[in-house]
Amino acid sequence: MRRNTFWSWFWIFLGTLYFLLPLISTFLFSLRAKKDVLSFLSYERIFTDVNFTRTLGFSLVVAVFTILVSILLVVPTAYWIRLRLPQLRAMIEFMTMLPFVIPAIVLVFGLIRVFSGAPFFLTNTYAGTNALLVAAYAVLTLPYMFRSVDAGLGAIDVRSLTEAAQSLGANWATILFRVIFPNLRVAILSGAFLTLATVIGEFTIASFLVGIKAFGPYLSLTGQNKTYEASSLTIISFLLTWAFMGLIQLFNRGKSDSALAGAH
Amino acid sequence: MSFLSISNVSKIFGGVVAVEDFNLEIEKGEFVSFLGPSGCGKTTTLRMVAGFELPTSGEVVLDGENITYKSPNQRNVGMVFQSYALFPNMTVAQNIGFGLQVRKTPAEEIRKTVDEMLGLIHLEKHAEKYPFQLSGGQQQRVALARALAINPRVLLLDEPLSALDAKIRVELRQEIRRIQQTMGITTIYVTHDQEEALSLSDRIVVMSQGHMEQVGTPSEIYNHPTTEFVASFVGQLNLLPVTEVNVQNGTCKLNGQLVRFDHSEQSEQRQISAKPRLAIRPEEFQFGQAEARNVVLGRVEVVMFLGAVVRLRVRIGEALVSVDLFNERTMILPRVGDDVTVNFPAHACWIM
């Protein structure tokens, strides 16, 4: 028994080292921008770099639009497939996996080829290019959003809930927005989070469509040119990810607490 | 014209006939059960009344209005599901008030109706709980209140008690009947449980393989089944092979002995098959000699003591028959292998 406990702790320790060591080393390295002194200089440089805030802001906005488009596209589709077209489920699942199979570079060249000529001249304007970027990301992140939402739908009795709402007089919009969406909140949130993380760090599509305007290409460029800043950016990206995760946890818990509290 | 009329309704799913030529007139305030084994078309029929399935042919007329092709949300029909189907994101009160909210009823009126409904199902203290915080029985009561809150023209219940345990089932079925009678609401109840159907209904429709087998009051269905299916599906039925059937005199030979049977309904309703059998319920038997009753000899093969009832299997000729006796404290139970004399009245048996 004692032996077992020892080995359990040993493996946990080893695992923790495996995950934390690179992170700690990167962090320590990021503090060495000034010779022989530990300092936050590289962080200062990053935060005072206009490009950092500008590209991050741009990518965040693109991510938000991607999430909205994705939700409006995926939730009704996945719902309808569960409700009325279960025989199409396997095919749709396969289609949503395609972005994993087709390399981003193929996707972006295809998009540029189709949408820069007649009858679509999307790449001729900034707004058009940005819209194309959002559309491309909605496709790229389809597997995450579809899988999350589909799993969420699997956890509720979609058919009975729909029929119950219908018999009570609800129309399709009411059913979707008052019954289906609220019960998929956690599933949509996890899909949204994965979409956000993907969009923020995505390089290939962004660099071909909008170049240095997006955060992904900025990260890459910094990594190539500024050694210490690259490390601090890595740490910042990690912190951002953790912050998003924390926010979602908080949002989930806060929501259910307030729902319960509001009930009294 | 009746309140709800289902006329010549059929439903075919991809070549498979689920319901065929269903005809039923239901009066206002009536409680009708559709009873049958799974796959007999009872739920499909109910769903066609609710609007979740469209009939392949025939029509459904409710209160003078043809609703056959109306969408479910425009029928004002309340539905209770086996799986409760409460909205997990809403409290009990919000669930009950949902239908009224959809109808844009003023908030004050919704609150009043919700309170009334909560009183009706005795869950006043649980108004602000979420469905997951309630037991199965409580959830189904909420589902019932939610269906009733919109003051539906018809209440449809699709095996509402099947997911509950036996004790709750009995309690809740009494509650459903009480509420139905209080509100005087026309109700269709789908079940495969004969006890539920017999104890709740004004009338029962027994269904098998998409057909209506018989429609009648619970006592008609049990005591005067018109088909072999009804006779054996509702309650237990012994079928003993007999010879020399004389329908006019009401006599036949069972294991060589002359037996009298009820022949009053024989000619009008029942066809006698090529291999005639004497039909009799287990509870009609008694032990011992008796005057003016049929008397046969048999041998006890199984004795099961069930509390209020003692169930025996007695071999009479080639047939093994079920015999149910009411338990009495002083009763001496026969033993396996005993030869016994069994009697039963002529009016309790018929030929199939």
CB B279 within 8 A of CB B288: no
> What single letter denotes the amino acid at residue A220?
S
pLDDT tens track for B231-254: 888 888 898 888 888 888 888 888
CB B279 within 8 A of CB B350: yes
Among the residue ranges A229-238, B98-107, B196-205, the one predicted with the least confidence is A229-238
Chain center to CA of A80: 24
Instruction: List the structure tokens of B213.
Output: 């087998």
Report the predicted TM-score, pTM, of the whole model to 2 decimal places: 0.79
pLDDT tens track for A39-69: 888 888 888 888 888 998 999 999 999 999 9
Please tell me which of the candidates A166, A169, A183 has its beta carbon nearest to residue B89: A183
For chain B, positions 55-84, list CB contacts with chain A under 8 A: 71-79, 81, 83-84
> What single letter denotes the amino acid at residue B65?
E
The closest alpha carbon to B9, from B46, B38, B40, belongs to B46
The pairing of strands B31-35 and B186-191 is parallel
Say which residues have a Cβ less than 8 Å from residue B4's Cβ, sequence separation at least 6. Answer: B24, B25, B26, B49, B60, B61, B62, B63, B154, B186, B188
Residues A164, B79: C-beta atoms closer than 8 Å:
yes
Mean pLDDT, chain B, whole residue set: 89
Q: How far apart are CA B21 and CA B7, in angstroms?
A: 8
Q: What is the pLDDT of residue B266?
A: 60
pLDDT tens track for B162-205: 888 888 888 888 888 988 998 899 999 999 998 899 999 999 99
Assess whether pLDDT exceeds 60 at residue B270. Answer: no
Q: For chain B, what's the residue count?
A: 352
HSE toward the beta carbon, residue A200, CA cutoff 13 A: 20
> What single letter denotes the amino acid at residue B311?
R
> Which H or E element spans position A81?
helix A50-83
Instruction: List the structure tokens of B52.
Output: 């979740």
Q: What is the pLDDT of residue A261?
A: 36
> Which H or E element spans position B313?
strand B309-316
Residue spans per domain, chain A = 59-247
Chain A residues with CB within 8 Å of chain B CB? 156-157, 160-161, 163-171, 174, 178-179, 182-183, 185, 259-260, 263-264
CB B198 within 8 A of CB B177: no
Q: Three-class SS of residue B279?
A: strand
Residues A168, B98: C-beta atoms closer than 8 Å:
yes
Buried b (16+ CB within 10 A) or exposed e, B96-126: bbbbbbbeebeeeebeebbeebbebbebeeb
The closest alpha carbon to B285, from B219, B222, B352, B238, belongs to B238
Average of per-residue pLDDT across B270-279: 76
pLDDT tens track for A71-99: 999 999 999 999 889 888 889 889 888 88
ω into B241 cis (within 30 of 0): no
Q: Three-class SS of residue B4?
A: strand
> Which residues of A fall within a CB distance of 8 Å from B85?
157, 160-161, 163-164
Assess whether pLDDT exceeds 80 at residue B269. Answer: no
Q: What is the pLDDT of residue B277?
A: 87
CB B69 within 8 A of CB B24: no
Instruction: State whether CATH 1.10.3720.10 applies to domain A59-247.
Output: yes
The closest alpha carbon to B128, from A179, A183, A264, A258, belongs to A264
Work out the pLDDT band at B263, boundaries 50, 70, 90: confident
Average of per-residue pLDDT across B58-81: 91
Q: Is B162 on the interface with A (CB under 8 A)?
A: no
> Which H or E element spans position A238?
helix A227-262
B90: left (phi over 0), alpha (psi -120 to 50) or beta: beta
> Which residues of B fall within a CB distance of 8 Å from A263?
91, 128-130
Q: What is the pLDDT of residue A264?
A: 33
Q: Is B305 on the interface with A (CB under 8 A)?
A: no
CB B158 within 8 A of CB B82: yes
Tell me how crowded residue A186 is: count the other CB atoms within 10 A of its CB: 17
Work out the pLDDT band at A263, boundaries 50, 70, 90: very low
> Which H or E element spans position B99?
helix B92-102
Q: How far apart are CA A34 and CA A48, in angstroms?
A: 17
Tell me how crowded residue B222 is: count the other CB atoms within 10 A of its CB: 17
Work out the pLDDT band at A118, boundaries 50, 70, 90: confident
CB A49 within 8 A of CB A238: no
Q: Three-class SS of residue B64?
A: coil
